[in-house]
Amino acid sequence: MLELHRLTKHFGGVRAVDGVDLIVNPGEVLGLIGPNGSGKSTTVNLICGLFPLTSGLIMFKGEDISALPPHERVTRGIARTFQNIRLFGQLTVWQNLWVAQNSAEQRRQNPVRRWFGGGGSAREDIGRTLEFFDLAHKRDELAGNLAFGEQRRLEFARAFAAKPVLLLLDEPAAGMNAEEIDQLDARIRTLRDTGMAILLIEHHVELVMSVADRIAVLNFGQKIAEGSPAEVQNNPLVREAYLGTATAA
C-alpha cells in the first residue's frame, strides 16, 4: 500500500532521513522505532507532505504522491496523529470528529446530503467512533478541558474519523498510564484486523513489540534493521543504537 524508495530529507548539512526504504502492507502494523533524533517523525512528516523531499519517492496505492500537498494525501486515505497533541481545544469532542470526518467525506458526497442521509449518516458514524474510543460520555466537553489521556484518545479518534486506509500514529502512548496503553493496544489490533495499514512510531517499546507485525529501526536517519519483533530484539545493531554498545546474543 505504502512504499518509500530511498526517502531522503536534508536540513542544511543534517541528513534527518537518509535513503530509507520501507513498505507498509494492508492489514499490517509496521513499527518504526529508534533513538531520539533518528528521523522517525521526519519520516511521517514526509509521508504526509508537511516537508518536501530532498530526494526519493513515495508511492501510495500504486500512485506517486511525492509532490502532492497534504490535503490531497488526506483525500486519498492517509491520516495521522501528532507527537504533540493538536486538537481544536475550543471545539467539543463531537465537533472535533465532525471536522475530521467532513474533510474526508467531501470527496464522496455533499456534506449537507450526508448529514441528512440514511444509515451511513455523519451522526451515526461519529457516534460509533465515540463508542469505540470510549469518548461517548465526553461528546459535549470542550477538547481543551479533557484529561491528557482523553486528549490522546481524541487525537486517535479524530484521525480515524477521516476514514483512512493508512493511519500514521506518532507516539500515541506518550503520557498514557498502563491501562490506557492496554486499551490502545487493543484498538490498534482491531483496526489492523479490518484491513487498515498502520505505521506506528512509539518509544514505548513493549507496545511496539506486542502489536507490530514487523519493525523497522532508524538511527541517524538510516534504516539499520527490519524484521519481526524477535529478530529486531536480537539484532546487535539495534542494541548498539539503544545501549551504545553491541552485546552478544
pLDDT at 100: 86
pLDDT for 105 equals 60
Q: What is the pLDDT of residue 109?
A: 52
Q: In the prediction, which pLDDT does 203 show?
A: 87
Range 54-61 average pLDDT: 96
pLDDT for the residue 122: 75
Predicted confidence (pLDDT) at residue 119 exceeds the cutoff of 50: no
Long-range Cβ contact pairs of 175-179 (< 8 A, separation 24 or more): 175/148, 175/149, 176/149, 176/152, 177/149
Task: Provide mean pLDDT across the span 139-155.
Answer: 94
Is the model's pLDDT at 246 over the cut of 60?
Answer: no
* Predicted pLDDT at 222: 95
- Cα–Cα distance, 52 to 232 (Å, whole number): 30
Rounded Cα–Cα distance for residues 154 and 134 (Å) = 9
Integer CA distances (angstroms), 181 to 58, 144, 178, 184, 204, in order: 31, 21, 5, 5, 9
Flag whether pLDDT at 117 surpasses 60.
no
Q: What are phi and psi of 23, to 5 degrees?
A: -130, 135
pLDDT one-digit tens code per residue, 159-201: 999 889 999 999 999 888 999 999 999 999 999 999 999 999 9
Task: Express as a percent the part of the chain with pLDDT over 70.
Answer: 90
Q: What pLDDT does 120 receive?
A: 55
Tell me the mean pLDDT in the region 113-124.
Answer: 58
Minimum mean pLDDT among 42-46, 99-103, 183-187: which range?
A: 99-103
Query: Which region among 86-90, 104-108, 122-126, 189-193 has the lowest average model confidence (pLDDT)?
Result: 104-108
214 SS3 class: strand
Write down the residue that cell numbers 455523519 correspond to.
122
- Distance between CA 54 and CA 7 in Å, rounded? 8
Q: For the chain, what is the mean pLDDT?
A: 89
Contact at 8 Å (CB) between 135 and 150?
A: yes
Residue 85: closest CA among 33, 158, 139:
158
Q: How many CB atoms lie within 10 A of CB 90?
A: 10
Residue 124 is predicted with a pLDDT of: 86
Domains of the chain: 1-77+164-249 (3.40.50.300), 87-162 (no CATH)
Q: How confident is the model at residue 54 (pLDDT cuts 50, 70, 90)?
A: very high
This prediction's pTM: 0.87
Residue among 36, 78, 74 nearest 202 (CA): 36
Average pLDDT of span 54-77: 94
